[in-house]
Amino acid sequence: MQTYRQSSAARTGARRLSLSVVIPCYNEAQTIEEVVNRVEAVGLADEIIIVDDGSTDGTREILQRLDAEQRPNLRILYHQVNQGKGAAVVTGFAAATSDVFLIQDADFEYDPRDYPILLKPLEEGIAQVVYGSRFLGGPRKAMNFWNMVANRSLTLVTNILYNAILSDMETCYKVFRAEVVRGLKIHARRFEFEPEITAKVLKQGIRIYEVPISYNGREWNEGKKIKWTDAPIALWTLIKYRFVN
């Protein structure tokens, strides 16, 4: 992985881009430590910023232990009460110091071994924003039919409203050049973060580059948090930010 990254920068003659991996985390005691291990194993993150969003299931104690181990490049921030994924990502972005910000969920749905393909368009200077798409032919566990319909429908609305051709607006794997998002005012607190930041990026005239990723969706009984009630909120968010800033 390291060899790939160095050779990519060498081929383009570009300066190596530093990477901040931002991990919003809420009640993920069963997975958070292994996710950190997997991100570290890839060897590409200059800093890993975990934002614990008021966990109550023992996650916070695990994070405190990891913090005490003084792992290189690991930073842990805490919300005293649960505010939502969007709020946790905004906190992470505010603390990040690298050239590139990458969002990583705290479960096993998304595989950090996909980082090289996500970073390649940025390293080569052909994109400012990259999304990892679950619908471009990468290996994936079949998601529930109605989840797929909701994802496809929200992506279609995004494309219609913002003149885009995305295949997966709701993906977790969103990667940004820091200067793209540092100036954005993000109001979302929960899962409406995904449509809001997508809308605001597209309204800047930035074309989002997509790459195929693997996906191992978890079931509701395994702790999946997004619900059907989040879909109409996402739809309203897309419509609202088409007309307001």
Q: pLDDT grade, residue 16 (50/70/90)?
A: confident
Q: Give the number of C-alpha atoms closer than 13 A to the C-alpha of residue 127, restricted to the C-beta side.
A: 21
- Contacts for 103 with CB less than 8 Å, ≥ 6 apart: 22, 23, 24, 89, 172, 173, 174, 175
- For residue 28, the model assigns a pLDDT of 95
Query: Looking at per-residue confidence, does 186 or 231 come out higher?
Result: 186
Q: Which residue has the higher pLDDT, 218 or 157?
A: 157
Counting residues of the chain whose pLDDT is more than 90, the rounded percentage is 73
Predicted local confidence at residue 29, as pLDDT = 96
Provide the domain limits for residue 106: 2-243
CATH of the domain at 153: 3.90.550.10
> What is the mean predicted confidence (pLDDT) over 1-6?
44
Cβ 214 vs Cβ 138: under 8 Å: yes
Task: Please provide the average confidence, as pLDDT, over all residues in the chain.
Answer: 89
Contacts of 140 (CB under 8 A, 6+ apart): 134, 214, 215, 216, 217
Query: How many separate domains does the chain show?
Result: 1
195-238 tens-digit pLDDT = 999 999 999 999 999 999 999 875 545 445 565 577 889 999 99
pTM here is: 0.88
Over range 172-196, report the average pLDDT.
Answer: 92
